[in-house]
Amino acid sequence: MTTWHDAVIRILSTAGEPLHYKEVTRRILAEGLRSTVGASPETTVNATIADSIKRDPDSPFIRVRPAVYGLRPEAQKARLKVPSSRSPLAAFGMHWARDQVLWTTKPRLYGRPTARADRINLTEQRGIYLLHDAREVIYAGQAFGQGIGSRISQHTSDRLAGRWRWFSWFGTCPVSDDGRLGKPLGTASAEQFIDAMEALLIEALEPRQNRAATMTASEYLQARDPKL
């Protein structure tokens, strides 16, 4: 499923001019870019654009006037490609803090697609995870037979227990607007797989000579476990 962020990019890129966020929403729905839209898609679109501008200095969006947004010239010139919904990656979280999770056999990994959204428990995601210390990635692992949360939890009591403070994860399960996890995405083409792996490595390793990656997945911000 195309993310709201990527759907907005597609609409603004195709339009070639700034649009009111309500018009962006109308075109997203008309083109069927989202299979689930929630109760207030216009609010979601407005928040998606506003949060991107606020949080990301390289955001492709610019505010032209109140409630009207366009793409930055360099983004419009490149006509940013919206990745296919068949990409193997659906969601990810970067540099989540270990001390924001209550680690049990089945911990809750809470995240939000935007700062104002409700918490979603992402512990059952399947995919790849990284453990970080203060300087670098110290371990990479996979979780398929069990959720990423349970898999990472094992590293709180094994030989790596005292060596990591943050973790990142890359999941293959799409997340619906009401927070439910779907089945892992189907088989991707070789091109889609290569695109996804390149973006993942750039996002995770941050090579100095690479520009920012265009992830095909939805990024989730960490939310503290309320039981802590």
DSSP element (H, E) containing 225: none
Q: Is there a single domain that holds both residue 108 and residue 71?
A: no
Q: Is there a single domain that holds both residue 142 and residue 203?
A: yes
At residue 215, the pLDDT reads 63
Q: Is residue 30 part of a domain?
A: yes
Q: Is there a single domain that holds both residue 102 and residue 179?
A: yes
Half-sphere exposure of residue 62: CA atoms within 13 angstroms, side-chain side: 11
Q: Is residue 149 part of a domain?
A: yes
Mean pLDDT per block of 10 residues along the chain (228 residues) reads 81 90 92 76 93 89 95 66 59 94 95 86 95 93 94 97 96 82 73 75 76 68 94
Q: How many CB atoms sit inside 10 A of residue 215's CB?
A: 23
What is the β-pairing status of strands 137-143 and 218-219?
unpaired
Q: What's the pTM? A: 0.62
CB distance 171 to 66 below 8 Å? no
Q: Is there a single domain that holds both residue 123 and residue 10?
A: no
Task: Give strand pairing partners of 128.
Answer: 142, 170
Expressed as residue numbers, the domain containing 97 is: 91-222
Q: Is there a single domain that holds both residue 101 and residue 122?
A: yes
Q: How many CB atoms sit inside 10 A of residue 40's CB?
A: 11
Q: Is residue 85 part of a domain?
A: no
Number of domains in the chain: 2
Q: Is there a single domain that holds both residue 97 and residue 207?
A: yes
Task: Give strand pairing partners of 20.
Answer: 68
